[in-house]
Structure 1
Amino acid sequence: MSSAHKNLSIFSTENLPDISNKKFAIVVAEWNEEITNALADGAYKTLITYGAKTENIVRVSVPGSYELSFGAQKMAQKPEIDAVICIGCVIQGETKHNDYINNAVAQGLTAVSLKYDKPVIFGVLTPNTEQQALDRAGGIHGNKGDEAAITAVKMLAF
């Protein structure tokens, strides 16, 4: 179901694990900063709401979404990190750059997750317009950061 038909901030919270002793890394792309900061704030607040401790959440920045894979790898290789949440936003422009970046990031994050046997979450918006991004960064369609954080929590129970 597309987010145009679902609120990203509404999800099932049944059978969530205790995350009070789990450590999370939130890796945030600086490109499209207004949007990525809103997504990262949503992820942070959701983790706190469901039991994470503030001292167990680390936020690091990378220049853009393309660099999320490397940032995720640096965080995932740390034994104390239990899950990595990657936050970015690649807005379609006049060229096809977004297709290449989004594909590379998706493949990169999957590879990191499998290599380190840890949840590495794709919290990257891939909208056609800035307005669509804003709608999914706390706007009318909720916050993709909320969804990314709850996905990390659920994958820790897997």
Structure 2
Amino acid sequence: MATKLKNLSDHSSKNVADMAKKKFAVIVSEWNEEVTESLYSGAYETLIQNGVKKEHIVKHYVPGSFELSLAAQWLASQKHIDAVICLGCVIQGETKHFDFICDAVAHGITNVSLKYNKPVIFGVLTPNTQQQALDRAGGKHGNKGDEAAITAIKMLGLAEQL
């Protein structure tokens, strides 16, 4: 969580294993594109900086954050994909739509991870405002895309240890 005490782009090097042979699928929501493309840039750069080969990163788009779960299921079911990173942004509005979407996406992504026994990472921002989203997509609070990528890497590292 980003606060003035913690930046989303800061992380420790614990459980960072060799990623040269690992393959990552990154799913990006088209909704709130300014934010989600920045999240992708952060995730991509973090993967590259940690030894993932460019050709081992596949990017796919979905219309909105709600569709991340099904796309994650399709990609997680592929044996050659080691981890899936889901990137989206749902900004609080005037109705309960926000609550339903955020809840469904969080549960959906968790269920896919458990079903396929591989990291499926929740890199979805749920801010109250556009500015809060930008602050967490490469702004003053870092980049949730960085955090999502390093989470995938660390979970793969943990899996190797186990």
TM-score (norm 1): 0.98
Match of 2:105 in 1: 105
- Which residue is equivalent to 1:39? 39
Matched with 2:90 is: 90
Q: Give the whole-Å Cα distance in 2 for the aligned partners of 1:126 and 1:14.
A: 27
Residue type of the partner of 1:135? D
Partner amino acid, structure 2, of 1:75: L
In structure 2, stretches of 5+ residues that fail to align are: none
Contact 2:8 2:142 in 1 (8 A): yes
Question: SS at 2:78's partner residue?
Answer: coil
Give the deviation of 1:147 after TM superposition. 0.2
Secondary structure of 1:157 counterpart: helix
Equivalent residue for 1:133?
Answer: 133
Matches within 5 A, 1:8-157: 8-157=8-157
- Residue 59 of structure 1 aligns to a residue whose secondary structure is strand
Q: C-alpha distance in 2, partners of 1:155/1:36? A: 22
**Corresponding residue SS for 1:150:** helix
Deviation at 1:96, TM superposition (A): 1.4
Identity of aligned residues (%): 66
TM-score in terms of structure 2 length: 0.95
Q: 1:101 to 1:135 in 2, by over 3 A?
A: same
SS of match in other structure, 1:91 = coil
Q: Give the length in aligned residue pairs.
A: 157
Which runs of at least 4 in structure 1 moved beyond 6 Å after TM superposition? none
The CA deviation at 1:4 is 2.2
Q: Which residue identity is paired with 1:136? A: R
Separation in structure 2 between the aligned mates of residue 46 and residue 109 of structure 1, nearest angstrom = 21
Deviations 1:103-138 (A, max 9, x none): 000100011001100100000000000000000000
Residue identity matched to 2:61:
S
Q: Determine if the alignment matches structure 1 residue 3 to structure 2 residue 2.
A: yes
